[in-house]
Structure 1
């Protein structure tokens, strides 16, 4: 199969799954395995297309990120999402990622870990959907610092391949009283700093695998992931409150079964 077509397919997979609670890592490993796209070039390609997904969040929420630079709103009595919310939501996972980065890359990127994480994440999502408190935060501006930090703690689970950043943070949001849309939007907002740090580190380490001849391959994957991620994020926010997390949890269990059959066996 032509590599450019593979780039297009994997760009769709990345854009479609990065911000859904279904594990983009699990999907990329499974689809890459089925397409025979593996090795150092494939690993570098995954880093590039993640940058495309991140750009989609930046484009969709640039006004919100820009407003965070207004530090005069910090500590004011009126409710407003500010930079401290984002910092509190990012710090736990950032520390975990820095401390465990090499261990995660060398020891946890295995099919067995992904299958376990897919199922464990599904259980957390089902638990959050069933046990979430009465919603006290109906917009991200109503989130407290404590809620932001707690969601950040849940984001630490996402350092385990297959667990899903969106799945862990949205579950955490539901459990601390945020409604589905609020939990999802905050998940997107705290994802960008974490992904920039993690992907930037991966990019530096894999930079020597880049070749000018691969530019078309990477460009196709990057642009595809960017466009698809933008569409998916907008659609996801519209349907999440109606369908909840359960349907995604059951999908993860089905994906774990496919992963076991096609990758592990």
Structure 2
């Protein structure tokens, strides 16, 4: 296996894990990182999708006891467990439906660094606006959510089809606007990542199966493990962080990052792909 390719896999895995659950867009960062590493062909794009499975496993491991209780509750026919699964299914539907309808067109026109930089900045302005609003909390925990709440967060998550928006950012900020506590909005975003990223990974593996090769197993392994470790550390850090902070710092990060991309493109410091 090419050591340079393994290095690229390591970097992209770390980028995926550190950005998947923060409101700063993992897809946007992977597009930029892939462009810089010259790993943005069809094989590279498939790799970026599939290493999300490492980030998914990090959430499953962090919440293994809670998910185990839900599984046990389903077997016993408990209403709370059934409502939890129903809420995830409802919240998953908007992004899945719109992704099937418009995913190809979005990838063709918006999966490029300058489009990502634009949505980085626009998303930051939404976060700053949302954080300045007075939060009226009516839902303190994920267990208190109803199907209507799940549908609203699902619609919010659908905005993440636009690269640079951030799936976690859309659901968390949407949750705050719809009356969820910061903890509930963040945790539901984590749980919703399991079906959302899981289905996306399986679908892309099937769709692009012709690109799969046993020679790439080393690359997949490095990307998976690095995504898992970095995502696990990030999830634990974020849960501690939100206990005493808001998301304003991430908004300013997005603005700085977006401006840097525009500046490097304007002055010719980086030859970003424009397609």
TM-score by length of 2: 0.87
Q: Of 89, 93, 102, which residue of structure 2 is paired with 1:87?
A: 89
What is the distance in 1 between the residues matched to 2:7 and 2:273? 25
1:157 maps onto 2:159 in alignment: yes
Query: How far apart in 2 are the matches of 1:3 and 1:36?
Result: 10
1:73 pairs with 2:78: yes
Mapped partners of 2:113, 2:66: distance in 1: 37
Structure 1 vs Structure 2 CA RMSD? 2.1
Distance 1:45 1:80, change over 3 A: closer
Q: How does 1:1-265 map to 2 (within 5 A)?
A: 2-69=4-71, 70-71=73-74, 72-74=77-79, 82-260=84-262, 261=264, 262=270, 263=272
Aligned partners of 1:85 and 1:29: how far apart in 2?
Answer: 31
1:146-183: CA deviation from partner (whole Å, max 9, x where unpaired): 22221111111011111000110000110111111111
How far the C-alpha of 1:36 sits from its partner, in A, is 2.3
Distance 1:163 1:203, change over 3 A: same
Name structure 2 gaps, 5 residues minimum.
Answer: 265-269
Contact 1:81–1:142 under 8 Å retained in 2: no
Paired with 1:157 and 1:241, the residues of 2 have a C-alpha distance of 26
Instruction: Provide, for residues 37-89 of structure 1, a one-character-per-residue CA deviation record: whole Å limited to 9, x for no partner.
Output: 22122112212211111121222223433444435333x7xx99622221222
TM-score between the two structures when normalised by the length of structure 1: 0.90
CA separation of 1:206 and 1:80: change in aligned 2, threshold 3 A? closer
Asked if the contact 2:114–2:261 (Cα under 8 Å) also holds between the matched residues in 1, the reply is no
Matched pairs, number: 262
Write the distance in 2 (CA, Å) between the matches of 1:95 and 1:40: 23
